[in-house]
A = this chain, B = another copy of it.
Amino acid sequence: EESVNSSASSYVDNSYLFLIGGIIVMLMAAGFMCLEVGLVRSKNAAMQSMKNVVLYAVAGFMFWLVGYNMAYPGSTILGGLLGTTPVIWSGGDLEAMSDAGYAPASDWFFQMVFVATAASIVSGTVAERVKLWPFLIFTAVLTGFIYPVVVSWEWGGGYLDSAWAFSDFAGSTLVHSTGGWAALMGALIIGPRTGKYFGKQVNPMPGSNIPLAGLGTFILWFGWFGFNGASQLAAGTVTDINSVAQIFANTNMGAVGGTLFAMITTAVLYKGKVDATMVFNGALGGLVSITAEPLAPSMGASVLIGGVGGVLAVLTVPILDKFKIDDVVGAIPVHLVCGIWGTIIVAASYGNHIMPVEIDGELQTSYVGQLVGVLLTGVFVSIASVIVWTALKFTIGVRASEEEEMAGMDVSEVGLEAYPDFTNA
Contacts and interface: CB of A to CB of B under 8 A. Distances in A.
B415 A270 contact: yes
Interface string A296-324: 00111001000000000000000000000
Contacts of A46: 210-211, 276
A414 interface: yes
A279 interface: yes
A305 B206 CA distance: 42
A5 B8 contact: yes
B61 A303 contact: yes
Interface string A22-35: 11101101100110
B413 A26 contact: no
A40 to B, nearest CB: 10
Contacts of A93: 242
29 contacts: A3-B6, A8-B237, A9-B13, A12-B235, A12-B236, A23-B226, A27-B218, A27-B219, A30-B219, A34-B211, A37-B211, A43-B421, A53-B217, A53-B259, A53-B280, A88-B300, A90-B299, A94-B239, A103-B246, A105-B246, A106-B245, A132-B274, A208-B420, A273-B415, A274-B414, A275-B415, A422-B423, A422-B424, A423-B423
Contacts of A2: 6-8
A211 B214 contact: no
B245 A91 contact: yes
A209 B418 contact: yes
A425 B422 contact: yes
Contact of A57 (B19, B213, B245, B260): B260
Contacts of A60: 252-253, 256
A359 B34 CA distance: 52
B276 A414 contact: yes
A403 interface: no
A76 to B, nearest CB: 24
A64 interface: yes
Contacts of A1: 4, 6-7
A145 B248 CA distance: 23
A260 B140 CA distance: 12
Interface string A391-425: 00000000000000000001001111111111111
Contacts of A423: 422-425
8 nearest interchain CB pairs? A49-B214, A30-B218, A103-B245, A105-B245, A273-B415, A50-B276, A106-B245, A57-B259
Nearest to A420: B206
Nearest to A112: B252
Interface residues of A, number: 129
Contact of A91 (B95, B98, B249): B249
Nearest to A32: B218
Q: How many copies does the complex hold?
A: 3
A11 B93 CA distance: 24
Contact of A7 (B3, B98, B206, B300): B3
A342 B297 CA distance: 41
A283 interface: yes
Contacts of A263: 54
A212 interface: yes
A331 interface: no
Contacts of A11: 238, 241
Interface string A227-260: 0010000011111011111101100110110011
A402 B98 CA distance: 63
A419 B423 CA distance: 12
Contacts of A246: 91, 94, 103, 105
B206 A45 contact: no
